[in-house]
């Protein structure tokens, strides 16, 4: 009954932690591609190749359902994977749709035409590759009209968080928020479009100021996953063991992950 969660690094652990809380009886297999991290500065073809290789490895571990807890992979690779690569008896889901459903107040599976929504001015904070893909804007357009999205590529933030330099990460977040607000002075909502960013959520909130609704992914994605598995119990894979896999150095990654989640995490070689 295993479910896979993939990220290029440690950011997806924020989603995993919430998923484990919501679904404590489900064994999750987490795969981090530290050998090629970060994905946010790579081109779309490279991201697609790396993501399919990682998901194939998760399929091998007994996961029939894989969550791309990596916004860059969701943005640059997911649609192509779903259309041309994912086997019919497997599923790969991304992290954008739960966020957009919450933003537009639409239920999962609502296929009605896009409509006017209350939020008109949205700030998107994401990696350079996610911003270039315009995947968030494309998915939003399927559900809402009349929404102005201003995207800010947050270079350096993921690297700083992965290295545990939270002081640098905070300074970079404040700089990127300032840059965004020069383009969109009064956003109504802000989307944290990277699973690393919840660790800096309080900094984003403080820098954005009161009155800006901040949408962060872990709780939204975990709730959406729980709902999906209720409706699709056949998507539980045959795997029975939880695991943490990395293409990087397991000892180093385990140390970083333990610091990241403030509990002991032991990675093995993928």
- Do residues 8 and 32 make contact, with C-beta atoms less than 8 angstroms apart? yes
CA distance 213 to 211: 6
CA distance 181 to 38: 26
CA distance 92 to 228: 12
The question of whether 154 is a catalytic residue gets the answer no
Name the nearest CA neighbour of 76 among 103, 56, 99, 96. 96
CA distance 173 to 178: 9
CA distance 214 to 217: 10
The question of whether 63 is a catalytic residue gets the answer no
CA distance 10 to 13: 6
Q: Which two tokens mark 211? A: 């009155």
Burial state string for 76-104 with b = 16 or more CB within 10 A and e = fewer than 16: bbbebbeeeebeeebbbbbbbbbbbbbbb
Name the nearest CA neighbour of 30 among 61, 53, 52, 1. 61
Catalytic site residue from 29, 184, 194, 253: 194
Cα atoms in the Cβ-side hemisphere of radius 13 Å centred on 152:
26
* Torsion angle of C-alpha atoms 129, 184, 206, 172, degrees rounded to 10: 40
* CA 28 remoteness from chain centre: 16
Catalytic site residue from 5, 67, 70, 212: 70
- Give catalytic residue positions: 70, 194
């Amino acid at each position: 009954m295993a479910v896979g969660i993939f990220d290029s690094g440690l950011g997806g652990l924020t989603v995993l932690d919430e998923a484990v809380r919501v679904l404590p009886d489900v064994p999750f297999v987490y795969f981090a591609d530290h050998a090629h991290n970060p994905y946010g500065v790579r081109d779309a073809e490279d991201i697609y190749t790396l993501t399919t290789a990682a998901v194939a490895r998760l399929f091998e571990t007994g996961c029939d359902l894989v969550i791309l807890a990596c916004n860059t992979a969701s943005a640059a690779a997911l649609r192509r994977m779903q259309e041309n690569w994912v086997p019919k008896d497997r599923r790969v889901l991304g992290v954008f749709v739960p966020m957009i459903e919450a933003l537009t107040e639409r239920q999962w599976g609502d296929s009605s035409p896009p409509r006017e929504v209350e939020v008109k001015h949205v700030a998107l904070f994401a990696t350079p590759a996610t911003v270039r893909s315009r995947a968030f804007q494309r998915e939003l357009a399927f559900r809402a009209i009349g929404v102005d999205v201003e995207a800010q590529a947050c270079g350096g933030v993921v690297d700083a968080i992965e290295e545990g330099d939270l002081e640098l990460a905070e300074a970079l977040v404040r700089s990127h928020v300032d840059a965004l607000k020069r383009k969109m002075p009064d956003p109504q909502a802000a989307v944290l479009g990277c699973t690393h960013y919840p660790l800096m959520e309080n900094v984003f909130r403080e820098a954005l100021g009161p009155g800006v609704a901040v949408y962060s992914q872990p709780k939204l994605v975990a709730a959406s996953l729980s709902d999906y598995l209720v409706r699709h119990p056949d998507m539980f894979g045959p795997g029975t063991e939880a695991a943490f896999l990395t293409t990087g150095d397991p000892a180093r990654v385990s140390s970083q992950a333990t610091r990241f989640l403030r509990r002991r995490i032991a990675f093995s070689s993928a």
